[in-house]
Structure 1
Amino acid sequence: MTSVAGHPEKNIIRVQLKQNTVLKVLRDSELAALEPYLTIVDCNKGDVLLHQGIHEMEQYFVLDGILKRVVTSPTAKEMILRFAAERDIETSYAAWRLKTPTPYSIVSVTKSRVAKLQLPQWVKYIESHSQVKQAFEFEVMQLMSEIMAHTITLHLLNAPGRVHRFVRKHTDLFERLPKKELASYLNLSPETLSRLKNQGKI
Structure 2
Amino acid sequence: MTAYEHLHERIDSLSPLSESEWLDFSSRWHPHRFKKGDFMIEEGKVEKYFWFVHEGVLRAFFRRNGNESIVGFTYEGDFSGAYDSFLDQKPSDWNIQALSNVEALRISYQDLMEMYDAYKSVERWGRMFNARILIGMGRRQVEVRDFSAEERFDRLMQDSPHIFQKVPQKYLASYLGMTPETFSRMRKSTMKNSVVERT
Q: CA RMSD in A?
A: 2.4
CA shift in 2, pair 1:117/1:191, >3 Å: same
Write the letter of the residue equivalent to 1:25. Answer: P
Query: How far apart are the structure 1 equivalents of 2:109 and 2:84?
Result: 11
My pick for the range that moved more, 11-20 or 160-169, is 11-20
Number of the residue aligned with 2:125: 135
Number of the residue aligned with 2:71: 81
Unaligned runs of 5+ in 2: 195-199
Percent identity, please: 20
Structure 1 runs of 4+ with >6 Å offset: none
Number of the residue aligned with 2:154: 164
3-state SS, counterpart of residue 128 of structure 2? helix
Residues 35-85 of structure 1, C-alpha deviations (whole Å, 9 max, x = no match)? 333221222222101122223521101111222222223x23222222222
My pick for the range that moved more, 104-113 or 14-23, is 14-23
Residues 1-35 of structure 1, C-alpha deviations (whole Å, 9 max, x = no match)? xxxxxxxxxx7222212122468622333222233
Query: How far apart are the structure 1 equivalents of 2:189 and 2:174?
Result: 20
Normalising to structure 2: TM-score of the pair?
Answer: 0.82
Q: Which has the higher helix share?
A: 2
Alignment match of 1:149 (pick from 117, 120, 139):
139
Q: Does 1:109 align with 2:109?
A: no
Residues 82-136 of structure 1, C-alpha deviations (whole Å, 9 max, x = no match)? 2222221113444344343223222222222110121222111222122222222
Query: How far apart are the structure 2 equivalents of 1:101 and 1:126?
Result: 23
Q: Does 1:27 align with 2:18?
A: yes
Number of the residue aligned with 1:118: 108
3-state SS, counterpart of residue 134 of structure 1? helix
Query: How far apart are the structure 1 equivalents of 2:111 and 2:54?
Result: 20
Q: Does 1:48 align with 2:74?
A: no
Query: How far apart are the structure 2 equivalents of 1:121 and 1:94?
Result: 17
Number of the residue aligned with 1:63: 54
My pick for the range that moved more, 149-158 or 186-195, is 149-158
Contact between 2:41 and 2:81, CA under 8 Å: does it hold in 1? Answer: no
Report the alpha carbon displacement of residue 187 of structure 1 after superposing the two structures with TM: 1.2
Number of the residue aligned with 1:38: 29
